[in-house]
Amino acid sequence: MATWILLRHGQSVANAARRLAGWDDVALTDFGRHQARGAGRALRAHPLDLVLSSDLERASHTARLAVEAWAGDTRAVPEIVCHPELRERRLGVLQGVPLAEARRTGALDPLRTWTGVVEGAESQADLCRRVLGRLADYDEVEGTALLVAHGGVIRGLRGLLDGLAHAQIGNTKVANATPLLRVLRPGTWGRLARELQA
C-alpha cells in the first residue's frame, strides 16, 4: 500500500484574474506562494518518498516551496521529478479566456462533461488517460508520494479514485494548495488507465 498526496498548485496569476490558463505557463501570486509553503508545513507529519510535479511553473514552483517548507531545517529537500504528462488540461480556443465570458457564452459547458471538447481542447477523459499513462510508471511505489498538479488533473484523479460517475467529475471543485490523501493498492494507477482504454 502507498499513500498518495494530491495537491493542486497555489493560486496562480490566472486564478487571481479569473482567467482560464490551461497550458499557459503562468506564475504563482504572492498568496499562491504563501499557500504552497503552508501546504508543505501541513505535510510535515508525513514522510515524502517521492515527489512528482507537472512541469508548468505554477505546479513545479508550488512543489519546490512545499518540499522546502516540509523539510524545514531538519530534513533534506527531496528531489522533484517533473513530467509534461502531468500538465493541466489543454483548453484550445478557451485558453486565456476570462472565466466569466466562458460561462456566459456557454463555451465552458462541454468541458464539464466527460468527453466534451471545444476546438483544440482535451476532454476530461483524454486528460485522465494522459495522466494515468504516466502515473502507471509509479504503481509499485511504497511509502508516501506527493503529486503536485492542476485542478483538472486532481479533479479527474480524485473522481476516479473515489468512484464518482464520470458525469459528476466535471462539476466538482478542487481548492488550491489543499492536500488530499488517498491510500492505494499497488497497481491502482495502471488499473484505472486500463479501465479508461476499455
- Name the pLDDT band for 71 (thresholds 50, 70, 90): very high
Give the model's confidence band at 159: pLDDT under 50 very low, under 70 low, under 90 confident, else very high. Answer: very high
Q: Which among 57, 83, 85, 88 is annotated as catalytic?
A: 88
Q: Quick check: 198 pLDDT over 80?
A: no
| pLDDT per position as a tens digit, 10-46 | 999 999 999 999 999 999 999 999 999 999 999 999 9
Q: What is the mean predicted confidence (pLDDT) over 88-108? A: 94
Averaged pLDDT for residues 132-149:
96
State yes or no: pLDDT of 189 exceeds 80. yes
Q: Which residue in the list 9, 61, 122, 150 is annotated as catalytic?
A: 9
- Fold of the domain built from segment(s) 2-197: Rossmann fold (3.40.50)
Residue 86: per-residue pLDDT = 98
Mean residue pLDDT of the chain comes to 96
Per-residue pLDDT band at 137 (split at 50, 70, 90) = very high
Predicted confidence (pLDDT) at residue 88 exceeds the cutoff of 90: yes
Is 61 marked active-site?
no
Domain ranges for the chain, please list them: 2-197
Active site residue 9: yes
Residue 166 has a pLDDT of: 95
Q: Is the pLDDT of residue 9 over 80?
A: yes
Q: Could you tell me which of 14, 52, 9, 50 has the C-alpha nearest to residue 32?
A: 9
Taking residues 48-63, report their average pLDDT. 98
The stretch 86-102 carries a mean pLDDT of 95
The confidence score (pLDDT) of residue 64 equals 98
